[in-house]
Structure 1
Amino acid sequence: MNTIVIGAGQAGLSTGYHLRKLGQSFVILDGNARVGDQWRAQWDTLRLFTPAKYDGLPGLPFPGERWNYPGKDEVADYLESYAAHFDLPIRSSTRVDTLERVDGRWAVDVGSERILADNVVVATGTFGRTPSLPDFAVDLDPAIRQLHSSEYRRPGQLKRGPVLVVGASHSGCDIAYEVAETHKTVLCGRDPGQLPIRPGQRGQGLFWPVFLFVGRHLVTRRSPIARAAMEELRFHGGPMIRVKRADLLARGVERVHDRVTGVQDGLPVLGDGRVLEVANVIWATGFRQVFDWIKAPVTGEDGWPRELRGVAADVPGLYFCGLSFQYAFASMTLPGVGRDAAYVANRIAARSRADRSLAAA
């Protein structure tokens, strides 16, 4: 096997598309039963922030009305149809346990099976991760309903009584806005800023082409300012997009910019000492990148892979696709992942050609 791609989300599928165009042999391994299941598991009202016009992966436009903002199930179905349309070789329900270097090749362990390959693309992206929770979360009163944002589906999951949403990036704001319709809600966390336009409003036809051009071509890792933005996005989340400050205010969300720093008598405590009497806590606190299953020195001090444009710095034959800010602000989005996938696939093809030339010499 020349290449194993781990993950059949948008990053893995895009990589597979480009590998096939380049005549490379590969297989995509994915732990889910169906392509798109990771999207199906998101909260019910989740919608993309970009219109369908810009959401297609390489070679296949996103179906439907161009200025529709697809829901999570539409995205899942599109990814499944994408895999079928290009007949990509996918092994579903195949969870990778470990990845290690053995005699100059990569060994991928799947249960008792070991698969060898010259190259591996880790395409679990920014979504192949473990929920990030503070250590003191376990000290909250067991009567408080705790959910991470990845577990939240709808307000009906919550107990009666006030809700604390911790983390005010776009997902935290969206969830706080939704639950505030039926629960008294406090949203806690730093203000990440907000985009100047609301998805779907007048003027979007002018805004999105400019915004996506900037996000793809100007805000890249070549720029010192963008490298600072990369750290901000990777560790603190993105700005408010659909739900704005005024929306939260209008719905009665109490906005607190202080941090939750601990627990007192089973209740969450803010940095200023205020104790919040709540019945529910939703942790919109992001995810920890976990790469300890890769038995090779791939991460830096910040816990992220040492890579440039998805090419591992120190380990031959190892690549990444779908990372937040892999090359540009748009890298982890549907409109941006295709370019990164093409770059990775081209590097794999170039490595394969070099290996064949060396063998023939």
Structure 2
Amino acid sequence: MTGTRTQVVVVGGGQAGLAAGYHLRRLGVDFVILDAQSTPGGAWQHGWDTLHLFSPAPYSSLPGRPMPHQPGQVYPDAAHVVAYLSDYEKRYELPVQRPVLVQGIHRDGPLLQVRTDSGTWSAHAVISATGTWWRPFVPAVPGRRLFEGRHLHTVTYRAPADFAGQRVIVVGGGNSGAQIAADLTGHADVTWATARPPRFLADDIDGRALFDTATARRRALDNGQADTAGVAALGDIVAVPPVRAARDAGLLNAVPMFTRLTAPGPQWPDGSITRTDAVIWCTGFRPALAHLAPLHLRDRHGRIATTGTRALDEPRLHLLGYGDWTGPASATLIGVGRPAREAAREIKAILGPGHRPQG
């Protein structure tokens, strides 16, 4: 496919890209979704074996199609989410092409040129929906390269059986750190290290409450009201059943972060060193935006300035699903629908009535 033209190119076929496709289809816009993955499901098909949502199925749905209940599960597992996304794509006949790797987006007069490993697309607008999973972040801890054990990140952790009988350090005070530390309990000698004491949300708070809180904060800020801090004021860790069980059994106790890594393992603030087989970094992600580099939109902090989902310095580009800076809770299944709808409407307004691609 060389020199193909359409109205809109959506980069990424995960949950954000599918939500964008749903709204573009409803508005009668011509578009294509380019997905680098060979199968449907986005990042959910790459999570660890026991990964679950922290919201019940009815509160984990993309626009137009409620997620069905998973028998025997209050919080659906990753495989259920993959099946749901695959069904969603088929149900709405979304034009996903895969595997197609987008290598760069360039300005080409009135159009944006989307260069891929299988040809070039030209479009009047682009929605970037590549997420963050593909760009794991590991902090620059002193001595990291000296450590002789294994380094892993959330993206490469799969199952506790891989660490049976080993000594493992799990780093990170968020949901992934708590869930993986709990997952390893009973299989490995696990130490959970966090930069600050972990903050568990109340046991009755799940993803639905977090979405409502994030939305209320954004509404308040838009109305010029005081910042309530939103989700950050509630805590950092959702007490899903495995985490709650490990915590209540006294098996999920965080220790302050080590000061450096040595060849055998981490060195702690008191100077002691723990011989360790593996360190699992549950330290988050950064937006996967390398394909946007030719547009030169990032500031010195690496961020792209936006109003809503639209890039301020390139109004033909929308960013979707990267977190609160592209819409309240937009990195979640339930949260991405609203900013996806707004992005589609803005693009439709720019295209105008009766606008059709040429060529």
TM tier, shorter chain? 0.7 to 0.9
Partner residue, 1:109: 115
Residue deviations 1:120-165 (CA, integer Å, cap 9, x gap): 1001123342343536432211xx1221111001012226321100
TM-score after normalising by structure 1 = 0.85
- Higher mean displacement: 151-160 or 74-83: 151-160
> Does the alignment pair 1:140 with 2:147?
yes
98, 123, 130: which one pairs with 2:136?
Answer: 130
- Which consecutive unaligned segments of at least 5 residues does structure 2 have? 1-5
Offset at 1:117? 0.9
- Higher mean displacement: 347-356 or 46-55: 347-356
Offset at 1:69? 1.3
Partner residue, 1:336: 335
- Matches of 1:266 and 1:209, distance apart in 2: 43
In structure 2, what residue type is equivalent to 1:194? F
Partner residue, 1:289: 287
Q: Is the 8 A contact 1:31 1:92 kept in 2?
A: yes
Residue deviations 1:185-208 (CA, integer Å, cap 9, x gap): 111112342211257xxxxxxx87
- Higher mean displacement: 302-311 or 38-47: 302-311
- Matches of 2:121 and 2:112, distance apart in 1: 8
- Higher mean displacement: 305-314 or 166-175: 305-314
- Matches of 2:287 and 2:207, distance apart in 1: 30
Partner residue, 1:359: none
- Matches of 1:316 and 1:355, distance apart in 2: 20
In structure 1, what residue type is equivalent to 2:36? G
Partner residue, 1:30: 35
Aligned to 1:4, the other structure's residue is in SS state strand
- Matches of 1:301 and 1:285, distance apart in 2: 22
- Matches of 1:198 and 1:289, distance apart in 2: 30
**Is the alpha carbon distance of 1:192 and 1:299 closer, same or farther for their aligned partners in structure 2, counting shifts above 3 Å?**
farther
- Matches of 1:208 and 1:46, distance apart in 2: 15
Residue deviations 1:22-81 (CA, integer Å, cap 9, x gap): 111100000111110521210111111010111121111111269831100000010000
**Is the alpha carbon distance of 1:285 and 1:214 closer, same or farther for their aligned partners in structure 2, counting shifts above 3 Å?**
closer
- Matches of 2:262 and 2:74, distance apart in 1: 46
Q: Is the 8 A contact 1:36 1:79 kept in 2?
A: yes
- Higher mean displacement: 8-17 or 261-270: 261-270
Instruction: Summarize the alignment of residues 291-330 of structure 1 with structure 2, pairs less than 5 Å apart.
Output: 291-294=289-292, 295-326=294-325, 329-330=328-329
Identity %: 31
TM-score after normalising by structure 2 = 0.86
Residue deviations 1:292-347 (CA, integer Å, cap 9, x gap): 33111322333232112211011120001111113554221111110010011011
- Matches of 1:292 and 1:339, distance apart in 2: 25
Offset at 1:101? 1.4
In structure 1, what residue type is equivalent to 2:159? R
In structure 1, what residue type is equivalent to 2:94? L
Q: Is the 8 A contact 1:36 1:77 kept in 2?
A: yes
Q: Is the 8 A contact 2:214 2:230 kept in 1?
A: no
- Higher mean displacement: 77-86 or 98-107: 98-107
- Higher mean displacement: 187-196 or 113-122: 187-196
Partner residue, 2:265: 267
In structure 1, what residue type is equivalent to 2:10? V
22, 42, 59: which one pairs with 2:64?
Answer: 59
Kindly report the root-mean-square deviation, in angstroms, between the aligned alpha carbons of the 2 structures: 2.8
Offset at 1:219? 4.5
Instruction: Summarize the alignment of residues 242-253 of structure 1 with structure 2, pairs less than 5 Å apart.
Output: 242=240, 247-248=246-247, 250-253=249-252
> Does the alignment pair 1:152 with 2:142?
no
1, 6, 10: which one pairs with 1:5?
Answer: 10
- Which consecutive unaligned segments of at least 5 residues does structure 1 have? 200-206, 357-361
